Amino acid sequence: MQLIDGKATAAAIKQEIAEEVKAMVAKGERAPHLAAILVGHDGGSETYVAAKVKACEECGFTSTLLRFEDSITEEELLAQVDALNQNPEIDGFIVQLPLPKHIDSQKVIEAVDYRKDVDGFNPVNVGRLSIGLPCFVSATPSGIMDLLDRYHIETKGKHCVVLGRSNIVGKPVAMLMMQKSNPGNATVTVCHSASDNLKEICASADILIAAIGQPEFVKADMVKEGAVVIDVGTTRVPDATRKSGFKLKGDVKFDEVAPKCSYITPVPGGVGPMTICSLMKNTLLAAKRR
């Protein structure tokens, strides 16, 4: 069994991005500029946005954080999105989710100019992905593909089972895995909480991507001997022994599944660190396209 080290891979990719940025700046171009909108004070969102700002520093990007209270109206937020769409100094931006209940998230996502949508959430980018056109791919699926690529894991002709059908992970990663590319070119099955014979389907996977959002859902009897297991789960479970008061749990029962795998991603330190790295890759791409 080989552990897939997302932390080390992400660090290597950020280093490569930083070198490209250095070369851009040396040629007289300005550094890529990412903006983030953060509404309210959700603990998880605060942590993610702080990590995104830090990653920008590591890559040599400029970053701008726009903070608003929960009381911001949908109209005011849409005006902020429009200002970023129009601002030529901003290459790409994200609106951190979740948004307060009185704001229609889908409306906000659709308001982001698809050319600056480095989260890859706008339906234009999702549609372009589905027919294999150049686009911004959402961060987690893109990070998973990079891990498969950097570990030279064969995907062509393999049976890839995606467990979970979310718009930001399950659906796009299924699209990428079926595309005629490398990595990709796999036979893809998407299953979810309503699937019959879930155990049998998962156990038939050469590559299992677990993104169902239920801690330790995947047990040893759901995994084939020699399978590649990618664990996307990051559920916070209470842990009084930690300063933060919680620990992250994946969707895979790691201790019993790992011995059966050829490769497996740990939680934390697997897919997680790759997601922010993919956002940096998209921002660099947006800057190159300007």
Catalytic residues: 52, 96, 119
- Written as six digits, the tokens of 195 are 């699937």
Q: Do the Cβ atoms of 10 and 277 come closer than 8 Å?
A: yes
Q: Are 144 and 274 in contact (CB under 8 A)?
A: yes
Q: Residue 80 or 155: which CB sits closer to ligand GUN?
A: 80
Complex with ligand GUN: residue 119 or 146, whichever CB lies closer: 119
- Of the CA atoms within 13 Å of residue 81, those in its CB half-sphere come to 25
Question: What pairing do the DSSP bridges indicate for beta strands 159-163 and 207-210?
Answer: parallel
Q: Kindly state the smallest distance separating residue 15's Cβ from ligand GUN, in Å.
A: 22
Contact set with ligand GUN (CB under 6 A): 94-97, 119, 139
Q: Which is nearer to ligand GUN, 257 or 271 (CB)?
A: 271
Could you tell me the two tokens for 27? 């040629």
Q: Are strands 207-210 and 187-191 parallel, antiparallel or unpaired?
A: unpaired
Q: Cα separation of 272 and 249, whole Å?
A: 12
Select the residue whose beta carbon is closest to ligand GUN and give its number: 97
Considering beta carbons, is residue 96 or 122 the nearer one to ligand GUN?
A: 96
**The pair of three-digit structure tokens given for residue 68, joined into one six-digit string:** 């608003």
**To which H or E segment does residue 194 belong?**
none
Nearer to ligand GUN, 84 or 223 (CB): 84
- For ligand GUN, give the closer residue by CB, 9 or 96: 96
- Residues 247 and 137 sit within 8 Å (Cβ to Cβ): no
Tell which residue, 225, 232, 218, 231, has the closest CA to residue 1. Answer: 225
d(CA 239, CA 245): 5
Structure token digits, residue 41: 């004070």
Closest approach, Cβ 98 to ligand GUN, in A, equals: 7
* Rounded Cα–Cα distance for residues 20 and 277 (Å): 14
- The type of residue at 141 is P
Task: Sort 26 into a burial class: Cβ within 10 Å, 0-12 / 13-18 / 19+.
Answer: exposed
